């Protein structure tokens, strides 16, 4: 299931990357906004027609139910094993407990807030504080999307259920370290642009793994009929961060933005550790 998610998100990221490239070319050649609107509308219409013709619902939707049954069987099996050891008089160092869903939800929201705080004002930082031309900023964010594409397709070949819970917190702390590292870019280093570009690529790569792992886990953890909760939590975090990020940048400067994002990423890391 997680491999399907990874491929789906990978192709979505490819589309986003192509859109960035088209937007850059259209802005470079100063095409009229009317053509931009017509192009976007036409592409959406084509996507709708293709999906209406080619995409069909399965006759039986049972994958989520199978996952729920598997979780129940695994939990019951662990309980039987522990009970058997206790009856045999063996000492135990393990405990029977379920995942902390509230911690999982909190981690999703915090991660989304930190991401939005960081990326909403970031283009302004590159164009104004680092005095980079628009073409270079476009290229940097295209490389960020490129890192995401690589991450999605790599996740589709390496993702396993056991790795999901283990690696989520590590991915989040990695993003936290990258956010803190952006503070060095504010010092106007000689290779600051190169460092910022590498950080963006790594952030896109890490985000791909995070989204695949958490989306797959959400299908296992979130009850049937409430699958939209995943997008709701990410949307709440994204909406909140989109206001907080520009406010911090205008009031306290971009160093505060990077530090705040890094701290919130770290809090998300703690939440996912508690969840596991």
- SS3 for the chain is CHHHHHHHHHHHHHHHHHHHHHHHHHHHCCCCHHHHHHHHHHHHHHHHHHHHHHCCCCCCCCHHHHHHHHHHHHHHHHHHHHHHHHHCCCCCCCCCCCCCHHHHHHHHHHHHHHHHHHHCCHHHHHHHHCCCCHHHHHHHHHHHHHHHHHHHHHHHHHCCHHHHHHHHHHHHHHHHHHHHHHHHHHHCCCCHHHHHHHHHHHHHHHHHHHHHHHHHHHHHHCCCCCCCHHHHHHHHHHHHHHHHHHHHHHHCCHHHHHHHHHHHHHHHHHHHHHHC
Examine residue 183 and state whether it is found in any structural domain, yes or no.
yes
For residue range 91-128, what is the model confidence (pLDDT) as tens digits?
555 554 566 788 889 999 999 999 999 999 999 999 88
Examine residue 89 and state whether it is found in any structural domain, yes or no.
no
Taking the C-alpha atoms of residue 114 and residue 182, their distance in angstroms, rounded to an integer, is 14
Per-chain mean pLDDT for the chain: 79
Cβ atoms of 266 and 177 closer than 8 Å = no
Instruction: Give me the residue label for tokens 């797959």.
Output: 216
Examine residue 87 and state whether it is found in any structural domain, yes or no.
no
Lowest average pLDDT, out of 48-52, 107-111, 150-154, goes to: 48-52
Share of the chain above pLDDT 70, in %: 67
Q: Is the dihedral of CA 49, 54, 59, 62 positive or negative?
A: negative
Alpha carbon 47 to its chain's center: 24
Examine residue 67 and state whether it is found in any structural domain, yes or no.
no
State which residues form the domain around 130: 2-53+99-275
Where residue 65 falls among pLDDT bands split at 50, 70, 90? low
Examine residue 130 and state whether it is found in any structural domain, yes or no.
yes
Query: Which letter, b or e, does each residue of 151-176 get, where b requires 16 or more Cβ atoms within 10 Å of its Cβ?
Result: bbbbbbeebeeeebeebbbebbbbbb
Tokens (6 digits) for 22: 């088209």
CATH number, position 125: 1.20.1250
Examine residue 196 and state whether it is found in any structural domain, yes or no.
yes
Q: How much is the pLDDT for 220? A: 75
Lowest average pLDDT, out of 19-23, 144-148, 251-255, goes to: 19-23
pTM of the model: 0.77
137, pLDDT greater than 60: yes
Q: How much is the pLDDT for 116? A: 95
Backbone phi, then psi, for 223, in 5-degree steps? -60, 155
Q: Is pLDDT larger for residue 108 or for residue 40?
A: 108
Examine residue 133 and state whether it is found in any structural domain, yes or no.
yes
150, pLDDT greater than 60: yes
**Packing angle between helix 192-221 and helix 161-181, nearest 10 degrees?**
150
Examine residue 80 and state whether it is found in any structural domain, yes or no.
no
Measured between its terminal Cα atoms, the distance across the chain in Å is 20
Residue among 276, 274, 272 at smallest CA distance from 107 = 272
Q: How crowded is residue 96: how many other Cβ atoms within 10 Å of its Cβ?
A: 11
Q: How much is the pLDDT for 22? A: 73
Number of domains in the chain: 1
Cβ atoms of 196 and 182 closer than 8 Å = yes
């Amino acid at each position: 299931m997680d491999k399907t998610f990874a491929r789906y998100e990978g192709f979505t990221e490819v589309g986003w990357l192509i859109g960035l490239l088209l937007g850059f070319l259209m802005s470079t050649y100063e095409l009229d906004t009317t053509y931009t609107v017509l192009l976007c509308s036409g592409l959406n219409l084509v996507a709708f027609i293709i999906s209406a013709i080619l995409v069909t619902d399965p006759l039986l939707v049972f994958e989520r139910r199978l996952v729920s049954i598997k979780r129940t069987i695994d939990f019951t099996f662990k309980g039987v094993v522990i009970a058997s050891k206790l009856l045999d008089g063996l000492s135990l160092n393990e405990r029977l407990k379920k995942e902390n869903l509230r911690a999982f939800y909190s981690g999703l929201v915090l991660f989304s807030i930190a991401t939005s705080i960081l990326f909403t004002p970031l283009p302004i930082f590159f164009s104004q504080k680092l005095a980079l031309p628009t073409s270079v900023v476009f290229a940097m964010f295209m490389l960020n999307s490129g890192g995401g594409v690589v991450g999605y397709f790599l996740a589709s070949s390496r993702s396993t259920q056991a790795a999901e819970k283990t690696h989520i917190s590590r991915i989040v702390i990695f993003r936290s370290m990258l956010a803190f590292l952006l503070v060095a870019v504010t010092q106007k280093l000689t290779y600051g642009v190169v460092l910022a570009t590498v950080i963006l690529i790594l952030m896109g790569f890490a985000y791909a793994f995070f989204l695949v792992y958490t989306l797959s886990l959400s299908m296992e953890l979130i009850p049937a009929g409430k699958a939209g909760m995943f997008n709701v939590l990410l949307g709440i975090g994204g909406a909140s961060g989109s206001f907080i990020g520009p406010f911090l940048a205008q009031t306290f400067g971009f160093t505060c933005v990077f530090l705040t994002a890094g701290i919130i990423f770290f809090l998300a890391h703690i939440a996912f550790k508690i969840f596991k």
